[in-house]
Amino acid sequence: MGAKRRREPLTRDRALTAAIALVDTEGMAALTMRRLAADLDVEAMSLYHHLPGKEGLLDGLVDAVVAEIAAAAGQADANAAGGDWRTRLRLRFLAARTVVLRHPWAPALLSSRPTIPAGVYGYYEGILAVLIAGGFSYRIAHRALHAFGSLALGFAQEVFQLSAREGADTEVTEAEQAELAAQMPHLAAMVASELHDATDPTLGWCDSQTEFEFTLDLLFAGLEKTREAAGPAVSRTPV
């Protein structure tokens, strides 16, 4: 009889890696404790020792994505050592975006959790350190964080999120489109002019790479003017 193959031990990291791979491939709807256990070749109850139910699994996914964002942003900041605050933050935020583009389900999940993941605090500590070292006061830096919103995590928070079903239900005929254009000419013209190029990665209708970078540059320009007008910060600490 041949030697029995040794099964890889189940760990929280291994379970989350498998869960991320599953959701990346098949979407959030495919993720269940039973399906994940099957993919890992373990009993479903074994997962509960590492992830306490579906909510614990979702919290674990958020923790994993935030850790991935923080690692990517940290590497980007290291590569930008010596650069000004705008260069460093721009590279940080674009690095975060590369992560969420790999995991397009992440923005909705991050926005839906009832508590702030612990890793987010350390991530924003790094952003604040860049702003303070760049000459901002804590008051302006605080307002900058509000202005950045979810852009700091790599995505734009849209006001409305249509589900796939809602998107299908809102399809209109050419006659209806013409009527809407007559009633709301500016909205119709904007939509017609803003159809995204196939090469422009998107996380939603109003969250393309082009729009993301435009918004970042606009915010940075405004913050730089505010910093210059405020003068030197009273308290500055090294990064």
Q: Domains in the chain, ordered, with CATH?
A: 10-51 (1.10.10.60), 68-157+172-230 (1.10.357)
Q: What is the pTM of this model?
A: 0.80
* DSSP-assigned letter for residue 7: P
pLDDT of residue 17: 96
User: Alpha helix locations (H) across the chain?
Assistant: 12-26, 33-40, 44-47, 53-79, 85-102, 106-112, 118-133, 138-148, 164-169, 174-183, 185-193, 209-230
Instruction: With cut-offs at 50, 70 and 90, classify the pLDDT of residue 166.
Output: very low
Q: Are 85 and 228 in contact (CB under 8 A)?
A: no
pLDDT of residue 100: 96
Does 146 or 208 have the greater pLDDT score?
Answer: 146
- The burial of 40, by beta-carbon neighbours within 10 Å (0-12 exposed, 13-18 middle, 19 or more buried), is given as buried
Q: In percent, how much of the chain has pLDDT > 90?
A: 57
Instruction: With cut-offs at 50, 70 and 90, classify the pLDDT of residue 95.
Output: very high
